[in-house]
Homo-oligomer: A and B are copies of this chain.
Amino acid sequence: MDKSGISNQTLKRLPIYLNYLKGMSEQPPNVSATTIAQALSLNEVQVRKDLASVSCGGRPKVGYPTGLLIRDIERFLGYDETNAAVLVGAGNLGRALLSYQGFAQRGLDIVAGFDIRAEAEAPLVGGKRVLPMEALEGVVRLMKIPIGIITVPSQAAQQVCDQLVAAGVRAIWNFAPVALRVPPHVLVQNESMVSSLAVLSKRLSEKLSEEESGL
């Protein structure tokens, strides 16, 4: 929980609700927390609480007008605004993020990629230019880009982070498995596959050993 009173866990579930609501083959006029919870195998109390924190259109026994709920979630998540970002490190993961069409609909516009191996002709990846590192600071400053996405190898991540911070970004989305040092005015969100894998592997081995021991 933080000042806005909404937890990261709620924030992470909101795009899932949205995906469900927008993906319904026939959109009903109203939808209840119960329906959503059942469809997504989630806890009903949790869904009810999540929805109430972003929309005040819910009515007992009726639920939320579907269109209104979609609009309220989208507005809450800021899909009606757009944040610009640059991405540094156009390896496989970087290229996957540059090519991912879903970000634009969700308020993230990756304006360009940067890579130490970028060529002079700046090839297009997913419709985005991959520019040489020398251009990074100028682009970030000129366009007042608030977000830097780091998809370089671990050993290069801190240096890239320093360059992004020096150029003025206010948030770093970090995919390198290292803890970055940033000044207090910069947000860091870490997205480490290796860290997630550690959680998955450990939970799986616990589950399997519980079963072996007959628990």
Contacts and interface: CB of A to CB of B under 8 A. Distances in A.
A19 B178 contact: yes
Contacts of A192: 12, 15-16
Nearest to A169: B204
A102 B92 CA distance: 13
Interface residues of A, number: 68
Contacts of A14: 195, 198
A179 B95 contact: no
Interface in A122-155: 126, 146-147, 154-155
B189 A196 contact: yes
A197 B6 contact: no
Nearest to A176: B19
Nearest to A191: B196
